[in-house]
Structure 1
Amino acid sequence: MTDVTIVSEKLEQAGAVLADYDVDAWITFGRETSDIAEPVLPLLLGEDFVWPGMVLITQDDERIVLCETHDADTIRSVGLHEVFSYENSLERVFREVIESIDPDTIAINYSKSNNTADGLSLGLYRLLEEYVDGASVEATFESSEPIINRVRGTKSDTELKRIQCSVDISLEILETMRNAWRPDWSEADVAEFVHEEVESRGLSTAWHADVCPAVDAGSQAEWGHAKPSALRLPEGEVLHLDFGVVYEGYASDMQRLYYRPVDGNSTIPTGLQSAFEDVRAAIQAGFETLRPGIQGHEVDTAARETLTDRGWPEFQHGFGHQVGRNVHDGGTYLGPRWERYGDTPTKDVLEGQVFTLELGIETEWGYLGQEEMVVVRADGAEYLTAPQTSIELLEE
């Protein structure tokens, strides 16, 4: 079912963005999109295509859909697009529409670095080339990546409200887990409890449930994307969770730390407290650097150097990613300029984007990973929840 509110808001954004980039038309082209997803379609259409179909947005704010007859009625009934249907030939209908628009530039969905802007398959690209060559237009293709970065990345009011709800629910579930935790629980038991809480709310985890939540029980845990194991948390060590849910199509992603006291002594060891504060300082340095117009790698550097200046090794991942419809939502990346990240760390941060801020260190008490979610405002970053500024205790 079409999410009318989201599609309407995103269509409004798209017309303005095309004008900013002086692009005459933006084409999103897909087929059998329930099998081969086109990441833009949930934002601009809210429905799948069975047979080949297109969404065309023009600089004059026309919202056009070309689709096979059996797809047309559902799309037309929503009332957000002008729909042109076909039975035998998409090319014929396309030619009529594109000649009436007569664009000089057409943006299409390909990117070397951003998965959310790379939804056009090679086969459909070749087919689109043939369609344009056969029409009476002189148009050149360019990547729609800058457009998608703006339309997908800049969250509308509705999107921000849903992300905030996802954040709040995730923290509620984690607090419920902390209060219910028992010393005989394994990593797998913690994950099972969290899954039951998610299911009781009719939600899903933000990434594959086998590894969401990630649960690391103390210094012997295999932290990262490993499945929760039979390992139990020893006294005097730290339980680390990485977790998020999806609420009405929008994700959250946070990490939290909990300490199991020794013989009921709730005092956090001095070394553990110091290490925790080092991680907090690095995250705060990135938070204070994050603002519109700065490039992603500059934010990563601020956090990375704060941690290494305090004597810890450099973390081997980026500092933060965008969150939205997916837990990793493409676009500008708060990471180092490593080849694996392409050019995403050199993209500008924009107002309205939502990011994680995350890093961790390995210690004798376990992995001290922290992750917060923030939204970028005109004057800097704003936490979507109070950050974890102390290690929570697990009561036996």
Structure 2
Amino acid sequence: KEKEPDQWKRLIEIIEERSPKKIGLNFSKDHNIADGLDKTDYDEFMSYLPKKYHSKVVSAEQLAIRWIETRTPREMIIYNQLVTLTHDIIAEAFSEKVITPGITTTTEVEWWMRQKVSDLGLKTWFHPTVDVQRSNDELVGHLYSFSGRPDEMIIMPGDLLHCDFGITYLRLNTDCQELAYVLRPEEKEAPIYLRKALEDGNKVQDFLTENMIKGRTGNEILKAALDGAKAAGLRPAIYTHPLGSYGHSAGTTIGMWDSQGGVMKDDGENYPLNPNTVYAIELNTTVTIPEWKRDIRIMLEEAGFYGENGFRYVNGRQTELLLLPRVQNQLGN
């Protein structure tokens, strides 16, 4: 500032020296994460900027989004550890260590998960949820599992449990949904119809991840995945979102729960898939259970990495129902 105390004047000198083809500013119609420039600074900048450069001013949203969505090799090592911890907490929550059927409530399990995270010196990025599907209830709307469900619902044998849980560590976030079954006294494994229902959920995951191809937009991936799943006789819904520095981060959004036909063509969320990015592979499939005389919804969510060699789960996915209480094969004995 001793040479040039006027910052605006010096900035214009730098622009003149560089003669840029584009001048990217922090504003965006579609991505709020790239829309931080206040109007006062914008107006003042434009008043100093020579007219010949005005046409070169563009949104720098691509720079902001690519920076936020891209994961480094070191971050992926940390991510693997973080997802492992997320899975471990869910497994413990959905066990006899925490749940006594007929006594423990869903709300108590939610707060146990929250306390476990706090005891580990970490944070949850949203309050955990636990819900129940059982033979004598009707299937309600998808959002029931996340809001509007009854508090203090007592967990009983024969219940299908579902949780939504995520934690934050070293500026990274996880987001995971898994399922557990509460064994009846005479049972050693979950009923075959529930095991097959989970397999249907895994099939929807496969249709989605197989269609995650570099350069495809979220809408293109969504359509291909839904078309394939429906052709296979499934009843899917897909609402996958970028995951990373934010739980619901910036990047390629593949469907929304209320936009299964894709997002609007001029919406910035209709964004191409780039490598070195992480997603919450979030979706569900509706399955008819004749034994229960009702439909159930298999809701799954796992962290997945898309790299130069294609897609992989950050640390595996659920392919078997967690059982409560645990049986010998799930204890590794």
Do the two structures share a fold, i.e. TM-score over 0.5? Answer: yes
Q: 1:226 to 1:236 in 2, by over 3 A?
A: same
Aligned residue pair count? 305
How many angstroms apart in 2 are the aligned matches of 1:165 and 1:291? 26
Q: 1:214 to 1:310 in 2, by over 3 A?
A: farther
Matches within 5 A, 1:78-89: none
The aligned counterpart of 2:272 is 348
Matches within 5 A, 1:27-38: none
Aligned partner (choices 305, 312, 337) of residue 227 of structure 2: 305
Q: 1:305 to 1:268 in 2, by over 3 A?
A: farther
Provide Cα deviations, 1:101-156, integer angstroms capped at 9, x if missing partner: 4434111223333232223344443333234259x956621121222232222211
How many angstroms apart in 1 are the aligned matches of 2:163 and 2:241? 18
The aligned counterpart of 2:242 is 322
How many angstroms apart in 1 are the aligned matches of 2:295 and 2:119? 33
How many angstroms apart in 2 are the aligned matches of 1:190 and 1:96? 61
Q: 1:104 to 1:341 in 2, by over 3 A?
A: closer
Find the residue that maps to 2:201 and give its secondary structure: helix
C-alpha contact 2:204 2:236 (8 A) present in aligned 1: no
Q: 1:308 to 1:138 in 2, by over 3 A?
A: closer
Matches within 5 A, 1:337-376: 337-339=262-264, 342-345=267-270, 347-362=271-286, 364=294, 367-376=297-306
The aligned counterpart of 2:124 is 205
Structure 1: any 5+ residue segments left out of the alignment? 1-83
1:333 has 2:253 as partner: yes
The aligned counterpart of 2:61 is 145
The aligned counterpart of 2:107 is 188
The aligned counterpart of 2:208 is 286
Q: 1:246: Cα distance to partner?
A: 0.8
Matches within 5 A, 1:126-275: 126-133=43-50, 140-179=56-95, 180-182=97-99, 183=101, 184-207=103-126, 212-219=127-134, 222-226=144-148, 229-275=151-197
C-alpha contact 1:260 1:395 (8 A) present in aligned 2: yes
Q: 1:259: Cα distance to partner?
A: 0.5
Find the residue that maps to 2:49 and give its secondary structure: helix
Find the residue that maps to 1:344 and give its secondary structure: coil
Aligned partner (choices 288, 310, 332) of residue 380 of structure 1: 310
How many angstroms apart in 2 are the aligned matches of 1:273 and 1:339? 37
C-alpha contact 1:99 1:137 (8 A) present in aligned 2: no
Find the residue that maps to 1:192 and give its secondary structure: helix
How many angstroms apart in 2 are the aligned matches of 1:358 and 1:153? 17
The aligned counterpart of 2:324 is 394
C-alpha contact 2:223 2:262 (8 A) present in aligned 1: no
State which drifts further: 112-121 or 198-207.
112-121
Q: 1:168 to 1:393 in 2, by over 3 A?
A: same
State which drifts further: 92-101 or 264-273.
92-101
Q: 1:264: Cα distance to partner?
A: 4.4
Q: 1:308: Cα distance to partner?
A: 2.9
C-alpha contact 1:155 1:354 (8 A) present in aligned 2: yes
C-alpha contact 1:295 1:349 (8 A) present in aligned 2: yes
How many angstroms apart in 2 are the aligned matches of 1:159 and 1:205? 19
Find the residue that maps to 1:190 and give its secondary structure: helix
Q: 1:99: Cα distance to partner?
A: 3.9
C-alpha contact 2:226 2:236 (8 A) present in aligned 1: yes
Q: 1:159: Cα distance to partner?
A: 2.4
Letter in 2 for 1:217: V
How many angstroms apart in 2 are the aligned matches of 1:237 and 1:377? 38
Q: 1:104 to 1:290 in 2, by over 3 A?
A: closer
Structure 2: any 5+ residue segments left out of the alignment? 256-260, 288-293, 327-333
- Higher RCO structure (Cα 8 Å, ≥6 apart): 2
Provide Cα deviations, 1:249-308, integer angstroms capped at 9, x if missing partner: 111111110011122413322332222211110101111222323332232224323443
State which drifts further: 217-226 or 229-238.
217-226
Q: 1:342 to 1:155 in 2, by over 3 A?
A: same
Letter in 2 for 1:187: T
How many angstroms apart in 2 are the aligned matches of 1:155 and 1:372? 17
How high is the sequence identity, in percent, across the aligned residues?
Answer: 24
Letter in 2 for 1:358: E
Provide Cα deviations, 1:364-392, integer angstroms capped at 9, x if missing partner: 48542111211112231011112111111
How many angstroms apart in 2 are the aligned matches of 1:169 and 1:341? 39
